[in-house]
Amino acid sequence: MKHLLSIADLSADEITQILDTAVSMHEVQDRQVKKLPTLRGRTIINFFFEDSTRTRASFEIAGKWMSADTINLTGKGTSVSKGESLRDTVLTIDAMGVDMMIIRHPASGAPAQIADWTDCSIVNAGDGTHEHPSQALLDAYTLRRALGDLRGRHVAIVGDLTHSRVLRSNLLCLRALGAQVTLVAPPTLMPSGVAAWAAADGFETSYDLDAVLPTVDAVMMLRVQRERMSGGYFPTAREYAVTYGLTARRLGLLQDHAVIAHPGPMNRGLEISADAADAARSLVLDQVSAGVAVRMSILYHLLAGEGDA
């Protein structure tokens, strides 16, 4: 495996292998000295054309804890802002002999295009509304730690599904691991063509959150991406929160063992209430912690592999 561009490129066995390796990587976080020699001498570029806190920081920490030389670049701080093409910029970086570029870009498909242009490994850290594979892997890792084997577990993904790159990656990952998935959103925020997609890939859809919640083992709330919205997808923020938000009242609809996830950043009071975000069953901070371990595992499998274990 040279690149991580899409969850669709991974088999169920490969997903499981990444998650299993992450268990060992997670132990590093509890050490006083958080350092492994695995990627000593390797150079990783974190190249982010969009804002990020969790993904960028966790990839940087993952690289440094594995002894790689990590460098952070943003679109505003490179020659792209002077008019240089994306192709010329990444070819310039690739010519410096780097081993990996971790790319976040507002255009869907940009990391895959960069992988065709360059010789180094490419990791998709989120491309437009397409995919965010490392997020799906860390979400699956977190759910697996909380619930055990995900085969047969019921996960609801709720919120702004139209604009979410997390949705596609999570749906592919959870289905590959044998989970039952239900998508819940208002009609205006359901992806176009979702009925045919659901029929082909074997998941369910619903517009009724209250009906779905009592049946789930996990509910994943997705952020309302107002920065990507150009029209009126719902009348008011209050109406959305009342109809599709995970409110204090809706916590009572969940089964006792059911857990709450959110990939972040959260809009408290919109898709998720403070009561839900801070509840004992919330996995929000567990997801952040898992992000470092899973991304360490991704770097290991792409740059070291079993031969250097």
Q: Which residues are annotated as a binding site for L-aspartate?
A: 82, 165, 223
Say if residues 152 and 178 touch (Cβ distance below 8 Å): yes
Separation between Cα atoms, residue 87 and residue 178, nearest integer Å: 39
Distance set, CA 209 to CA 152, 185, 191, 229 (Å): 20, 8, 17, 22
Task: Return binding residues.
Answer: 54-55, 82, 104, 132, 135, 165, 223, 264-265
Distance set, CA 119 to CA 2, 39, 125, 247 (Å): 10, 18, 18, 48
3-state DSSP call for residue 216?
Answer: coil
Considering only CA atoms, which of 257, 254, 265 is closest in space to residue 287? 265
Please name the residue ranges forming H helices in the chain.
12-26, 54-65, 86-95, 110-117, 133-147, 165-176, 194-201, 209-212, 237-244, 248-251, 274-277, 284-303
Task: Return binding residues for carbamoyl phosphate.
Answer: 54-55, 104, 132, 135, 264-265
Residue 176: what residue type?
A
Say if residues 111 and 127 touch (Cβ distance below 8 Å): yes
Separation between Cα atoms, residue 247 and residue 269, nearest integer Å: 8
3-state DSSP call for residue 220?
Answer: strand
Considering only CA atoms, which of 116, 107, 103 is closest in space to residue 59? 103
SS (H, E, C) 60-111: HHHHHHCCCEEEEEEHHHCHHHHCCCHHHHHHHHHHCCCCEEEEEECCCCHH
